[in-house]
Structure 1
Amino acid sequence: MNLQELKACLQKCPELGLAIALPDGRRVPAHCHVTEVGHVTKKFVDCGGAFRASEACVLQTYVGSSVDDGHRLTAGKLAHILGFADSFLPTGELPVEVEYEDELVSQYRVEGAGLVGDVLTLQLGLKHTDCLAKEKCGIDEGCGCSNEPESAEAGSGACC
């Protein structure tokens, strides 16, 4: 989901509560809040020597104590927070990611938003690593490679 799509969803129903669903079905605690809206630019070289860049709008969440729970995030509050970033976010086409700390700090893609009961729910998806220069590295996608650690340990055709 890109920033423009997210803002449109939030602005349609500003009074609704907001939930964030993790890829495994759990939810970020309802008393979380968004502490940062970032424009993250990553410039890098892949393993084949090609220079690349990627950009995203990253929403950092923070889960504090649930004791002072009077500030639950609504769709309207998140839209307001995103408005603060209008001056430096270059385009509404940026993909949106959510940074959340459970046991580890992780970033998830926002895959979509929809109503679940009377709550607007942001559905998060996993991010994955990939080789961006498969041809130069000699990696054949059809070779039966597996990214599963147990496959590599068992010698079951892992390419690398």
Structure 2
Amino acid sequence: MKLSKIKEILPTLSNVEFKLENGTFVPEHFHVTEVGVINKHFIDCGGTIRTEQVVNFQLWNANDFEHRLKPGKLLNIIQLSEEKLGMQDAEIEVEYQSETIGKYDLEFDGQHFVLKNKQTACLATDACGIPAEKPKIQLSSLNKGCCTPESGCC
């Protein structure tokens, strides 16, 4: 989800609720402790230099169980970040503590923001030596006469 999308959604909500892809909710007393820009400049295994920029939200649970982040407050934090950091309309990446700090993509299911599991991938599969995926063959499409008891193939 891009920053512009969350800015469209927030004014329509009465509460800001996040949940993990498995359905577990982030405790409702969470804080957004950081809103920022992360720039990544790297080289992939094929030798291509790449850059990536994301808007970063960091969610944190404290022991102040009465805390609730309202949509207007999060919108104000975003607007201040845009003003002070020159933040562009980029994809949002959310950091949230589980066993370790996890990084998640963000989606909206109509009621809740959903932290989607991120996956690693090779960006240079042609240079990496990873074989192409084998085509799937339906067994029913094989010549039916080749492996019958009378065929002599066994």
TM-score range, shorter chain: 0.7 to 0.9
- Match in the other structure for 2:51: 53
AA partner of residue 76 (structure 2): H
Equivalent residue of 2:17, what SS? strand
Instruction: Give the alignment partner of residue 75 of structure 1, picking from 71, 74, 79.
Output: 71
Alpha-carbon distance, 1:113 to partner = 4.8
Equivalent residue of 1:48, what SS? coil
CA contact (8 A) 1:36 1:59 kept: yes
CA-atom RMSD, angstroms?
1.5
Equivalent residue of 2:126, what SS? helix
Gaps of 5+ in 1: 116-120, 145-160
Distance 1:113 1:80 in 2: 23
1:91 aligns with 2:96: no
Alpha-carbon distance, 1:129 to partner = 0.6
Q: Percent identity?
A: 36
After superposition, the Cα gap between the structure-2 partners of 1:113 and 1:41, relative to the gap in structure 1 and judged at 3 Å, is: farther
After superposition, the Cα gap between the structure-2 partners of 1:113 and 1:6, relative to the gap in structure 1 and judged at 3 Å, is: farther
TM-score (norm 1): 0.78
Runs of 4+ in 1 over 3 A off after TM superposition: none
- Match in the other structure for 1:135: 126
Distance 1:29 1:140 in 2: 43
Distance 1:131 1:96 in 2: 21
Distance 1:138 1:95 in 2: 30
Distance 1:138 1:104 in 2: 31
AA partner of residue 104 (structure 1): T
1:32 aligns with 2:23: no
Distance 2:125 2:9 in 1: 37
CA contact (8 A) 1:6 1:113 kept: no
Deviations 1:49-101 (A, max 9, x none): 00001111110111011xx3332012112111111101224422x00111111
Gaps of 5+ in 2: 136-154
Instruction: Give the alignment partner of residue 44 of structure 1, picking from 42, 45, 63.
Output: 42
Equivalent residue of 1:60, what SS? strand
TM-score (norm 2): 0.81
Distance 1:102 1:129 in 2: 18
Max radius of gyration: which structure? 2
